[in-house]
Amino acid sequence: MSGQGNGSRQSGDDRKGFRELGPVWISAIAALITAVVAAAAFFLGHSTAPSAHDSARTPGRTSTEPARPESGPKPAPPTSSHGTELITCPIDLAYQYGLVLKPVARCPMPVNLMQAANSGAVSLVFSDEGLQVANGRIAELDSQASYAACKGATRYLGLGQAIKPENIDATACLTGDGIVVAATIVSFSRYPSSYASLRLTVWTD
């Protein structure tokens, strides 16, 4: 009987102990579940949501790559328009000399008559007959020298014809090689050697 009594008391004590421990275990388990859920929510949110630093930096990101050149052929540079004045200069042209005229912005230097005639370029020469053209056309102008006046000149000189250097203020208009040239006689001297002082203007054509 004493054995049964002891067993009953022990069983009763165990049930009493479980009843006392029950709320403690429940609280511990609930706290553990809450901690696990909170940890899972933290890691999930951290892995998916961008940081404030990243979100602030991304919109302002600029590219440092150099600009790529456009493909295709480049447009050709603009050419000089008709009637553009290249030079106006005074020059003395001696007898048996000539001026090789080219579309450049510098006053030509006199060369001997044969060199000018054989240059292949339009040239103004001072020959026995007077002022003539080689490798081009020459016309005598009746008005003040200009690009338009030279283009409209009609008094062309034929083979063997020339403008006499004594004709002060006379203007010879020469055309050829993409240029228009006006040579106006300013003065003329015979002694000690023959030469004509000219005012030379060259335009593009």
What is the residue extent of each domain of the chain? 2-57, 85-204
For 167, left (φ over 0), alpha (ψ -120 to 50), or beta? beta
Residue 147 CA to residue 81 CA, distance in Å, equals 12
β-bridge pairing 195-204 and 85-94: antiparallel
Residue 24 CA to residue 182 CA, distance in Å, equals 120
Which residue has tokens 């901690």? Answer: 35
Residue 99 CA to residue 201 CA, distance in Å, equals 12
pLDDT (tens, 9 = 90+) of the chain, 205 residues, equals: 444 444 444 545 555 554 554 555 466 565 666 665 555 555 555 554 444 444 444 444 444 455 554 555 554 444 558 899 999 999 999 999 999 999 999 999 999 999 999 999 999 999 999 999 999 999 999 889 999 999 999 999 988 899 999 999 999 999 999 999 999 999 999 988 899 999 999 999 9
Q: Which of 103, 175, 91, 108 is nearest to 139 (CA)?
A: 175
Report residue 153 as tokens: 């000149």
Query: In this predicted structure, what is the pLDDT of residue 159?
Result: 84
Query: In this predicted structure, what is the pLDDT of residue 43?
Result: 53
DSSP symbol at 1: -
Q: Which of 111, 118, 119 is nearest to 94 (CA)?
A: 111
Which residue has tokens 């002694």? Answer: 191
Query: In this predicted structure, what is the pLDDT of residue 60?
Result: 46
Residue 200 CA to residue 5 CA, distance in Å, equals 147
| Residue 125 φ/ψ, nearest 5 degrees | -125, 150
SS3 67: coil
Instruction: Tell me how long the chain is.
Output: 205
Residue 7 CA to residue 147 CA, distance in Å, equals 138
Taking CA 39 as the corner, what is the angle to CA 35 and CA 40, rounded to the nearest 5 degrees?
A: 120
Report residue 7 as tokens: 């067993």
State the CB neighbour count (10 A cutoff) for residue 133.
Answer: 27
Query: In this predicted structure, what is the pLDDT of residue 160?
Result: 85
